[in-house]
């Protein structure tokens, strides 16, 4: 599908139950820095090799640079960078990030998804819900046809996220990305809009799977 608009489907706020996806705000700096800093041992082993200390790279000042960069990419239509929030007791708390990045349009209409959550909300299905919301939006309003996720083979929690949602395992990429100090192999998963069109979308599929799991 070809698009005349520069950034179809952006900005947007998406929600399902306690999970809210929204664009970052400048005022997220302190919350972002705090959650990133307290999660160093949880996140660093899965993230691009840092070029400085974790503390500095996750400061409020760094956030402001990251924010400006993400906002530019989003306006150009090359990324949909969502802040992932969780509503607890009526309060919305920044709990992670989900970015559909490297968006290429024309004949490809594809994006890579990257994500993380605060370890304090891990295991509650936050990221599968967030990914399902983002994928449905990307297919319905973002002009995209395919979403790809590349994961280190040993990252079982992340592989579970895409496997539970029914992404297809498509590729093995040796020494694909420089993560945590070395070139790391990745397993490539993907989903196209046809895969979920007949099921009412990926979120509907995820809800059905959760309902089936809780009734068995
Ligand atoms: C990968 C990640 C985003 C998953 O998010 P999530 O919201 O916890 O996803 P889920 O609730 O569906 O849990 C996924 C799996 O995590 C594991 N898990 C569950 N609770 C957990 C906990 N408290 N701590 C660690 N892992 C847990 C389980 O294997 C679970 O799979 P299951 O549902 O089949 O049991 C999260 O683990 C994370 O941020 N990890 C660090 C960063 C990262 O790996 N990013 C992805 C790089 S490709």
pTM above 0.85, yes or no: yes
What angle (nearest 5°) sits at the alpha carbon of residue 182, between those of residues 83 and 71?
25
* Among 171, 194, 177, CA closest to 109: 194
Task: Give the confidence band of 2 by pLDDT, cuts at 50, 70, 90.
Answer: very low
**pLDDT surpassing 60 at residue 156:** yes
Distance CA 75, CA 37 (A): 28
State whether the beta carbon of 156 lies less than 6 angstroms from ligand 1.
yes
- CB distance 204 to 135 below 8 Å: no
Q: How far does residue 52's CA lie from ligand 1's centre (Å)?
A: 26
Distance CA 110, CA 104 (A): 6
Q: Taking residues 39-56, report their average pLDDT.
A: 95
Q: Whose CA is nearest to atom 17 of ligand 1?
A: 157
State whether the beta carbon of 24 lies less than 6 angstroms from ligand 1.
no
**pLDDT surpassing 50 at residue 209:** yes
Q: How far does residue 3's CA lie from ligand 1's centre (Å)?
A: 35
**Residues 96-118 pLDDT 10s:** 999 999 999 999 999 999 999 99
Which residues lie below 8 Å from residue 143, measured CB to CB, with a gap of 6+? 1, 3, 5, 8, 9, 105, 109
Which residues lie below 8 Å from residue 179, measured CB to CB, with a gap of 6+? 45, 46, 47, 48, 49, 152
**Residues 164-192 pLDDT 10s:** 999 999 999 999 999 999 999 999 999 99
**Residues 115-139 pLDDT 10s:** 999 999 999 999 999 999 999 999 9
Q: How many residues does the chain have?
A: 216
Longest dimension (CA), the chain: 48
Number of the ligand 1 atom closest to the C-alpha atom of 122:
8
Distance CA 25, CA 111 (A): 23
Which residues lie below 8 Å from residue 81, measured CB to CB, with a gap of 6+? 23, 24, 70, 73, 74, 97, 99, 100, 101
Percent of the chain with pLDDT over 70: 98
- CB distance 101 to 82 below 8 Å: no
DSSP E strand stretches across 9-89: 14-16, 19-23, 80-88
Q: Whose CA is nearest to atom 42 of ligand 1?
A: 116
């Amino acid at each position: 599908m070809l698009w005349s608009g520069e950034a179809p489907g952006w900005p947007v706020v998406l929600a399902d139950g306690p999970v809210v996806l929204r664009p970052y705000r400048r005022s997220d700096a302190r919350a972002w820095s705090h959650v990133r800093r307290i999660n160093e041992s949880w996140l660093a082993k899965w993230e691009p090799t840092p070029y400085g200390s974790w503390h500095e790279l996750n400061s409020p000042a760094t956030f402001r640079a990251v924010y400006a960069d993400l906002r530019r990419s989003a306006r150009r239509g090359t990324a949909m960078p969502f802040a992932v929030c969780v509503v607890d007791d009526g309060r919305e708390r920044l709990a992670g990030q989900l970015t559909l990045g490297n968006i290429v349009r024309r004949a490809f209409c594809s994006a890579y998804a990257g994500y993380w959550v605060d370890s304090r909300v891990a295991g509650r299905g936050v990221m599968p819900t967030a990914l399902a919301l983002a994928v449905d939006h990307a297919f319905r309003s973002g002009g995209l046809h395919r979403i790809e996720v590349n994961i280190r083979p040993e990252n079982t929690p992340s592989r579970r996220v895409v496997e539970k949602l029914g992404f297809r395992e498509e590729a093995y990429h040796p020494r694909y990305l420089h993560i945590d100090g070395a070139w790391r192999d990745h397993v490539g998963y993907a989903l196209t809009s046809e895969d979920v069109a007949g099921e009412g979308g990926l979120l509907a599929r995820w809800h059905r799977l959760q309902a089936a799991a809780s009734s068995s």
